[in-house]
Amino acid sequence: MDARPLLAKLTCPLIPVVVIDRLADAVPLAEALLQGGISALEITLRTPAGYDAIKAMKSAFPDAVIGAGTVCSDQAFDKAVGCGADFIVSPGATDELFGAAARHKVPFLPGAVTGSEVLKAIQHDYATLKFFPAEAAGGVSTLRALSGPFPELSFMPTGGITPDNVSTYLRLESVCVVGGSWLTPRELLIHKRWDELCQLAGDSVARVAEVSEEKST
């Protein structure tokens, strides 16, 4: 299922890309980000705690939008959905992943950075794609170029997004949301500085609010 309807409902265009090393951090981390104004989280499956972190967050905040990221196989897709993930994000896309998405009907953001990858996603009825690694793949310039032949597409760029360039991405008509790890600095997670994490989220949300208003008028 294309993710556009889900993303259109979000009140904030920022999605933190979260790496959970300690399961005990999952709920307080989610609480800090949600209180800071973030409306969706992407929990990567790069660590063994990823699946259980999604479960814990959904149990504590059933109305929150909690997704699974770095989903690279149909087995991982199945397991993430079983843990309660509200959406699935992959750095690329395969026939197996498209098949898993068709089975589950959960919003899926397949990764695409080339014309051929975009065309394959379109063939599977996807018009909202992950653009990763954004900066390494040409960033804003590449997204502008892709909008020429594919004006109907929306992208979620991640990879190299920072407080300094996030607004530049969000000003693109083809960008619906932006994902980034800068919202969850490892130093704050290690030392459980949840108040500072909440403040960082709030400051980031406020910084991009003006851009969102510009695009909606």
Q: Which of 42, 79, 210, 215 is catalytic?
A: 42
Is 42 designated active site?
A: yes
170, 25, 70, 204 alpha-carbon torsion, rounded to 10°? 10
**Residues 6 or more apart from 121 whose CB is under 8 A from it?**
93, 110, 112, 127, 129
* Contact between residue 101 and residue 108 where contact means Cβ atoms under 8 Å apart: yes
**Catalytic annotation on 130?**
yes
Choose, from 130, 192, 196, 213, the residue flagged as catalytic.
130
∠ Cα 117 184 167 (to 5°): 60
Residues tagged active-site = 42, 130
